[in-house]
Amino acid sequence: MRGTKQSVVCSKSSDRANQVKLLADKEKCLDYLMALYESVNSGAYEKDKSISVLEHAESVSKAAVSLYLDATTLAVNSYEKMPYCYLITAYTMMCKMHLLNSDYDAAYTALDKAAKTACEMFAWVKVTTKDREILADYKFFAERTPRWAYSFSGLFSSKDNDFTKSERYKNAVKEIEKVLCDA
């Protein structure tokens, strides 16, 4: 009898230690991503190098989504804990860098990826929680994704510009609106 109680206690202790380690790993990963984004925003790298850094951030963000996405992430204004938000940021920042390099096709590709990820994120949030405040918060984030994709560049002073007038931009907005419409 006594051996069974000890193994249950040890098992719970081991589970708790694993949870703490996983949380620490997640925090390190997200801190690393934030550092990558800050280095790109600060101009620490040339434009071409910044795109390489952001491609690396995309890869790390995808891993973060697959490893660290769970319902405990969801709270109002908890974007810094949400792996999907880091992946969307990788794409919107890529869009910025491609626009600064006058590579519109690559910028639209990054926008498409950002919109697809915003849709995926919101669909996941929608099935994960019924909390109206959390849903509204992530709806806000998803709705703003296309605008962030071009506005981060600083090239456009209004939302009525060549980038937003394109069919690809309008299609990205429509895809997000479809996912958000019944929220």
Q: Indicate the number of domains in the chain.
A: 1
Residue range 76-91: average pLDDT? Answer: 93
Enumerate long-range contacts of 135-139, CB under 8 Å, 24 or more apart. 135/183, 137/76, 137/77, 138/74, 139/180, 139/183
What is Dmax (Cα atoms) for the chain?
74
Q: What is the pLDDT of residue 181?
A: 85
Q: Which domain holds residue 54?
A: 2-180
Residue closest to 144 by CA, chosen among 79, 56, 50, 99: 79
> Model confidence at 18, in pLDDT bands (50, 70, 90)?
confident
Q: Show the tokens assigned to 1.
A: 């009898």
